[in-house]
Chains A and B, each alone.
Chain A
Amino acid sequence: MTSVLVKDLTLKFGAVTVLDNLNIDIPEGEFLVLLGASGCGKSTLLNCIAGLLDPTDGEIHIIDRNVTWEEPSGRGIGMVFQSYALYPQMTVEGNLSFGLKNARMPKAEIKERVARAAEILQIDPLLHRKPAALSGGQRQRVAIGRALVRDVDVFLFDEPLSNLDAKLRADLRVEIKRLHHNLQNTMIYVTHDQVEAMTLADRIAIMKSGIIQQLDTPTEIYNRPRNKYVAGFIGSPEINFFEGTIEDGTFETGGERFSLAGYEFQNASRTGRAWLGIRPEHIMSGDAARDLPVTANVTIDIVEPMGSDTLAWATLAGVAIRIRMDGQAAVSSGDQIQIGFDPSRASLFDKATEARV
């Protein structure tokens, strides 16, 4: 069953088109992440779904009801903001019950719902504190609670973890995942952090300048990016690109010739100018590289050890490339090593359209 349906949604601020004819169909219980660089329109889309911004054109349906002209409070949504947006003059309890009081709910039921939300989020002991006396993680938990008490159909998260430090972010990320697992609500989550997107999402929508570039499962987006932008955006360290020509099942670039044996073309095999993208973690080195269809000898320029793995920079076919190696790999700059990759793990993009071929 469809939970949230965005139909032909367009939003313009004067001459600037922020959202361009968007269509998304979100089934019930799905965790959808809107991912993109800042200014791509992801938060704007979320605000439109919440009813905080009026679209220029298009419709928004939530649970089979056209809510395009509905007030935010009448849409069955709860929203969690980046800056927590807790009411500073109210206690945690006051913050949680504010929405319910506005809905003129009986006192006994408010109390019951606040207690239940506090239990789920483990903020019982904080109920009588003011937001100023809470830590960042606690504040964000209260903010989630504020959506929780209202018993909404859809949760909207607007970069909820961006204000937290790295460790807390990882902790709360797991908690949000657990919350989704337990509640099974539809959740729409805006972030610019690809780790959050990959770990949380059932599906990810990658946005750029108001257009969804790809809407797919995390695995699909990682393995088969639909265009060059998506390939470059997802993955850290970034994917390596070579510019060249496809010819007779090979890819020619800067004097090198890579075999394309095993690459799954979208349509029939084709020729022409193209980009070849290969992720740093898919480039093998040493013994593992020897038997791969594509091999080459390179000199290591720089080594960046990161503990769990090591990132090595080298030059291949005139392009500086990143190679991800084991953290224990004994390499240093100046070393000559053999590298290789399997073309079936690479991605090819048309030079002109940047679409996957």
Chain B
Amino acid sequence: MDNAITPRGPKPRRRFSRGNIMLYGTLIVVALYYALPLYVMIVTSLKGMPEIRLGNVFSPPVEITFQPWVKAWSEACTGINCDGLSRGFWNSVQILIPSVFLSIIIASINGYALANWRFKGADVFFTILILGAFIPYQVMLYPIVIILREMGLYGSLWGLVLVHTVFGMPILTLLFRNYFTAIPEELFKAARVDGAGFWGIYFRIMLPMSLPIFVVAMILQVTGIWNDFLFGVIYTRPEIYPMTVQLNNIVNSVQGVKEYNVNMAATLLTGLVPLIIYFASGKLFVRGIAAGAVKG
């Protein structure tokens, strides 16, 4: 019989097996499901208002115009300000940079101390910190308003920076502690025998070995803080609203004609920063997440 082939060498694989068709079919459907809204947003943002009124949501623009993008960036009105999203963008940048730096620096030192310098009550401290990650934000909103008021920071940029730094602490500390715990303890001991102190070991041994986890922390913080809406709307004044709050105000404004193209462009502009971060550092992100499995 022809079928009686002696098995030998690599096992033959069928490309169009039922399992493969199911697998790739599902993947394609899911990919379309996520890509379609993005496509609609992009084409709509490139159309003029008359074209949008025709109602062909999925058709590509007949006449490509960048006017909605320009308007969204520099002309759209929120309340009394008519300088577009650019104001919100720079506000967000001013909030983002100090928040990310402060939270990562403090959390990495926390994690390092918890992992390597076991002090009395370290476990209790760590447990309390982690519990902090599970407390719903809503419970804290009003107390924080009062704390900020008493500190004289309510409504200011630095108040929001402080809030972001504090709220990033539990998860970031956990992240860093786990990473530093995975670094062999003997390395730390060797550095102590070599006469390095708390800061010496942190800066000269731990920090240079931990680039991946710093990148992960940065991505988490940048996207988290950039996308934050709740804290931004509560703890700041309209002049220093972050981009997300301003976007909401543009899109949800009830006066005048709904300019779908401008709204789409504004939304895309707001989402651009996290998107770029993901694309630029995706590889490092995966490396950092998988870092526990990789030997140094």
Contact = CB atoms under 8 A, between A and B. Distances in A.
Whether chains A and B associate is yes
A52 B189 contact: yes
A163 B205 CA distance: 23
Contact of B192 (A73, A86, A146): A73
What range describes how many residues of A lie at the interface?
Answer: 20 to 34
Interface in A84-102: 85-89, 98-99, 102
A168 to B, nearest CB: 19
A85 B192 contact: no
Contacts of A78: 193
B186 A83 contact: yes
A52 B187 CA distance: 12
B192 A82 contact: no
Given A88-B296, A102-B200, A146 B194 contact: yes
B209 A79 contact: no
B195 interface: yes
A337 interface: no
B121 to A, nearest CB: 15
Interface string B189-222: 1111111100010001100110000000000000
A72 B186 contact: no
A88 B209 contact: yes
A88 B296 CA distance: 7
B18 to A, nearest CB: 46
Nearest to B192: A72
B208 A73 contact: no
Interface string B223-249: 000000000000000000000000000
Contacts of B195: 71-74, 99, 102-103
Most A Cβ at <10 Å: residue of B189, B193, B195? B193
Contact of A72 (B184, B193, B200): B193
A206 interface: no
A83 B184 contact: yes
B205 A87 contact: yes
Interface string A137-174: 00000010010001000000010000000000000000
Contacts of B196: 73, 98, 102
Contacts of B205: 87
A74 B187 CA distance: 18
B200 to A, nearest CB: 6
B191 to A, nearest CB: 7
A102 B192 CA distance: 10
A81 interface: yes
Contact of B187 (A50, A73, A87, A158): A87
A87 B193 contact: no
A77 interface: yes
Contacts of B193: 50, 52, 72-73, 77-79, 99
Pairs of residues from A and B, 9 with the lowest C-beta to C-beta distance, nearest first: A73-B195, A99-B194, A102-B195, A85-B186, A85-B190, A89-B208, A81-B186, A72-B193, A79-B193
23 contacts: A50-B193, A51-B192, A52-B189, A71-B192, A72-B189, A72-B192, A72-B195, A73-B195, A81-B190, A83-B184, A83-B186, A85-B184, A85-B186, A87-B190, A87-B204, A87-B205, A98-B191, A98-B194, A98-B196, A103-B195, A143-B190, A146-B194, A150-B194
